[in-house]
Amino acid sequence: MALEKWLSEKDIKKLEALNNPKVIQVVEEFFSLCKPEKGVVIDDSDEDIEYVRKLALDLGEEKPLHLDGHTIHFDSYYDQARDKANTRLLVPAEKKDEYGKHINTIDRDEGLKEILSIMDGCMEGKLAIVRFFCLGPTNSDFSISALQITDSAYVAHSEDILYRTGYEQFKRLKDPNDFFYFIHSAGPLTEKNVTKNIDKRRIYIDLEENRVLSVNNQYAGNSLGLKKLALRLAINKAINEGWLTEHMFISAVIPPKKNRKTYFLGAFPSACGKTSTAMIPGNSIVGDDIAYLRINKDGEVRAVNIESGIFGIIRDVNPRDDPEIFKALTTPGETIFSNVLVKDGKPYWLGMGNDIEVPKKGTNWTSSLLGEWEEGKKDEEGNELKFSHPNARYTIRIEDLENCDEALNNPEGVKVSAIIYGGRDSDTSVPVYESFNWNHGVFIGASVESETTAATLGKAGVRKHQPMANLDFIVVPLGKYLKAHYEFGKKVEDDKRPKIFSTNYFLKDENNRYYDEILDKKIWLLWAESRVHNECGAIETPIGYIPKYEDLVKLFKEVFNVDYSKERYEAEFSIRVDKFLEKLDRIEAIFKEEKMMPEEFFIELNNQRKRLLEAKEKHKTGIISPFTFLN
């Protein structure tokens, strides 16, 4: 074994104890390529995990804050979000045309040659950390083992919070080659301890080897292999094996005065209310980001959260709208803040509450390039710099939340009763509606649209197509991805198939004001939950089933003691036929260009268009009141 050059005898024994030749081969290959000064192997022990936490502080990648266990990490000024342009799928040249326009591909041979050249010596002078994790609960049909090699203690520490330890899980692998692996290097660092060679930032996904190679970045969406990078690998694995990997939260909806839990999954594009929906007060949370879905021996759809923590957008987390998260962020405990403002050891972020006075100067995400921040400071283009980045983040354990669901680590997962698809839509869709059936629901999910936000690099405020809120992470042809959803539904009996709903929290009036308050989403979920249990009726419309006015009146009164007016109901739940028809035209134009599209999708699209046109002809208007459909 050539690893004696980098590893102690104790660390080599840790690797040998796994009895896994492929693990040894991967470590040897990338130590030889990346050329770290030395390496360390971390197992599941408390001692090893504490070593990683301390290392992040000792290396200056994190700094302590005023509350015990809280730390701050800053990414480079130019590394504040997922880098779509430099995140590419390695595809053999002969298959490139199969993947459609939505996947950023590069010839596999060309891409490997490029990134391996960039990674040559990228860890010089640094410590390479070898980690083992499990995606999903351990000892489960859902479990996927993952190996991470990184030169960032911040990355390694973050993954300790976000994922379950997996060293012992590796010993239980039935197939020693069946694991994902991720190689990451922040690359050479500046004197401010941030990545220097941003122009050589690359994140390349290799499906043939079930691996991701990532270099010259620190932002977690680019560097934490087990998060969105592993999501891509798992989507490919799931589709080829007959299950689903989705960009979805898992939450238990708990209606007042009823002794039951109903588990919902929800897919929302980034910054569209996904975490806040998963964290609605009164409900409990299993996960806020990624779910694996399988059908068990009893024919039920079950799901697990692949993570055990949350890497969430901190903007607008405040005690009124997100009380559980806010409490966790202001209580001692293991928490990493990133790219917020820090002054006197205290973190400050956008929208944290009107009662909190933000300092006029301090250290923030701009400091690594432009020096300390102060109010009124501008960037090179003359734009005023915010004190906290709009995509600033927090990293916490779900178990630290008071509303953590007891099923978080259940190896059998939870029974899925409903799935929600949501996006940003200011002028078309109603706050909530139910699909007619599974195939219609898949069509709804495939048709999600959203405005771009600061969570991805590029211009904000542009409406984008976001099928299943998963477009950025789909690594198979879009038609193949949708076909997998239709096929999955066929395997489930009618009475066990989850209901599918659409939500939209962003509908605006003619004065550009939102109809919904932030917590009104609780009402829409409670209505959907009552539909799962057949406790209320609905109005059939061309787009699906919408709530009856009297049911919403009752819910608003019981939950918030608010009188829900007929005027607001009519404004929110009128069917904007012309706007829906415009959306169908956009969606059809996109999917007509995709290959391998399932016939079911276009059947649903044509049926929806037909229903809308017939309703418009019948009622002689492009906006139809919900009360009209009662006649």
Ligand-binding annotation for 228, yes or no, is yes
| DSSP conformation class of 258 | -
From 245, 269, 577, select the one nearest 422 (Cα to Cα).
Answer: 269
Ligand-binding annotation for 232, yes or no, is no
Ligand-binding annotation for 82, yes or no, is yes
Sequence-distant (6+) residues with CB within 8 A of 173 are: 20, 145, 179
Alpha-carbon Rg for the chain, nearest whole angstrom, is 25
**What stretch of H or E contains 370?**
helix 367-370
Long-range contacts, stretch 369-376, CB < 8 angstroms, 24+ apart: 369/76, 369/77, 369/78, 369/192, 370/77, 373/341
Ligand-binding annotation for 270, yes or no, is yes
Ligand-binding annotation for 453, yes or no, is no
Ligand-binding annotation for 221, yes or no, is yes
CA distances from 561 to 3, 521, 531, 557 (A): 66, 15, 22, 4
Ligand-binding annotation for 273, yes or no, is yes
C-alpha span between 257 and 209 (Å, rounded): 51
Ligand-binding annotation for 533, yes or no, is no
**What stretch of H or E contains 134?**
strand 127-135
- The strand pair at 361-362 and 262-267 is best described as unpaired
Q: Please tell me whether residue 205 adopts helix, strand or coil conformation.
A: strand
Ligand-binding annotation for 424, yes or no, is yes
Ligand-binding annotation for 391, yes or no, is yes
Ligand-binding annotation for 548, yes or no, is no
Point out which residues pair with 450 in neighbouring strands: 464
Inter-axis angle of helices 438-446 and 599-619, nearest 10: 90
Sequence-distant (6+) residues with CB within 8 A of 567 are: none
Sequence-distant (6+) residues with CB within 8 A of 58 are: 153
C-alpha span between 564 and 557 (Å, rounded): 8
C-alpha span between 140 and 138 (Å, rounded): 5
Ligand-binding annotation for 201, yes or no, is no
C-alpha span between 310 and 313 (Å, rounded): 9
| DSSP conformation class of 226 | I
Inter-axis angle of helices 599-619 and 478-490, nearest 10: 80
Place of tokens 């969430």: 312
Ligand-binding annotation for 272, yes or no, is yes
How far apart are the two ends of the chain, measured CA to CA in Å? 79
Enumerate the active-site residues.
272
C-alpha span between 201 and 222 (Å, rounded): 9
| DSSP conformation class of 329 | H
Q: How many residues does the chain have?
A: 631
CB atoms within 10 A of CB 576: 19
Ligand-binding annotation for 491, yes or no, is no
Ligand-binding annotation for 274, yes or no, is yes
Ligand-binding annotation for 363, yes or no, is no
Binding residue positions for GTP: 271-276, 393, 424
Binding residue positions for substrate: 82, 219-221, 270, 391-393
Binding residue positions for Mn(2+): 228, 247, 289
Binding residue positions: 82, 219-221, 228, 247, 270-276, 289, 391-393, 424
